[in-house]
C-alpha cells in the first residue's frame, strides 16, 4: 500500500539528513521525497511516499513524531488530496516531423517545450504519477536522452486543520540548533 506523508519541520540544517537516516536505519524505503520552505521561513514541508501496510505507516509516523525538529506529521493519503510530480525530459527530436510529434504530445499532456537544440528538445511536464509515466512511455520510442523528476508534492483539498500555516514556532531562544541534530 502506498502512503503519502507530509511532515512540517523546523527549517534548520540537518533535518533532511536526520529524518532520512532515521527511516533508513529502521529499514523503511522512501519512494519519493520533496522538501521546500513554506510560507513561514522557519518551517519546511517534507512530502514523502512510503510503501507498506498500516503497521508500517504507524511505525513511520511514530518515529517521525519522536524527532525534535518535526513539528507535525500528516497522513495525506488517508484524505482527499491533490498530488503533483514535475519532470524535465530531453528527447531526440531533429527538426521536422519528429519534433512536431513531440510538440503535439507535449500539448496533449499539457506540457511545454522549454528548450530546443539542433537535435533534441526538453519538455517540462507536471501532473500525477500516472500522467508522468504515460508521457515517458510515449517518448521512449523517440529516444529519451535524459530525464529528471522531482519528488511528489501533495496537499489536502479544502480548508482542513493541520496545515503549517497554523503552526507557530517557539521563540528563537527555544528553536533547535544545528548542534542538537548532531
Q: Are residues 23 and 41 in the same domain?
A: yes
pLDDT, position 161:
54
CATH number where 127 lies = 3.30.70.1150
User: Could you list the residue range(s) of the whole structural domain that residue 53 is in?
Assistant: 2-79+160-181
9-34 pLDDT, tens digit per residue, is 999 999 999 998 888 888 888 899 99
- Same domain as 51, residue 30: yes
* 17 and 53 together in one domain: yes
Return the closest-CA partner of residue 66 out of 135, 110, 9: 9
Domain of residue 21, CATH code:
3.30.70.260
Same domain, 22 and 59: yes
Q: How many CB atoms lie within 10 A of CB 90?
A: 18
| Claim to verify: residue 175 and residue 142 sit in the same structural domain | no
Note down pLDDT in tens along the chain; length 182 residues: 889 999 999 999 999 999 988 888 888 888 999 999 999 999 999 998 998 888 888 889 988 998 999 999 999 988 999 999 999 999 999 999 999 999 999 999 999 999 999 999 999 999 999 999 999 999 999 999 999 999 899 999 998 754 444 444 443 334 444 444 44
* 111-122: pLDDT as tens digits: 999 999 999 999
What pTM value is reported for the model? 0.76
Please state the domain count of the chain. Answer: 2
Amino acid at each position: 500500500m502506498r502512503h503519502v506523508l507530509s511532515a512540517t519541520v523546523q527549517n534548520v540544517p540537518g533535518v533532511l539528513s536526520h529524518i532520512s537516516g532515521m527511516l533508513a536505519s529502521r529499514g523503511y524505503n522512501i519512494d519519493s521525497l520533496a522538501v521546500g520552505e513554506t510560507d513561514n521561513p522557519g518551517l519546511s514541508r517534507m512530502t514523502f511516499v512510503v510503501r507498506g501496510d498500516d503497521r508500517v505507516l504507524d511505525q513511520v509516523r511514530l518515529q517521525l513524531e519522536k524527532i525534535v525538529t518535526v513539528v507535525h506529521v500528516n497522513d495525506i493519503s488517508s484524505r482527499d488530496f491533490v498530488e503533483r510530480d514535475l519532470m524535465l525530459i530531453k528527447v531526440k527530436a531533429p527538426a521536422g516531423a519528429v519534433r512536431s510529434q513531440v510538440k503535439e504530445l507535449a500539448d496533449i499532456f499539457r506540457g511545454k517545450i522549454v528548450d530546443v537544440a539542433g537535435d533534441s528538445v526538453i519538455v517540462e511536464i507536471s501532473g500525477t504519477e500516472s500522467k508522468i509515466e504515460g508521457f515517458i512511455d510515449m517518448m521512449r520510442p523517440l529516444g529519451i536522452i535524459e530525464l529528471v523528476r522531482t519528488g511528489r508534492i501533495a496537499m489536502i483539498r479544502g480548508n482542513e486543520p493541520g496545515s503549517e500555516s497554523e503552526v507557530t514556532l517557539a521563540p528563537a531562544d527555544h528553536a533547535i540548533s544545528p548542534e542538537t541534530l548532531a
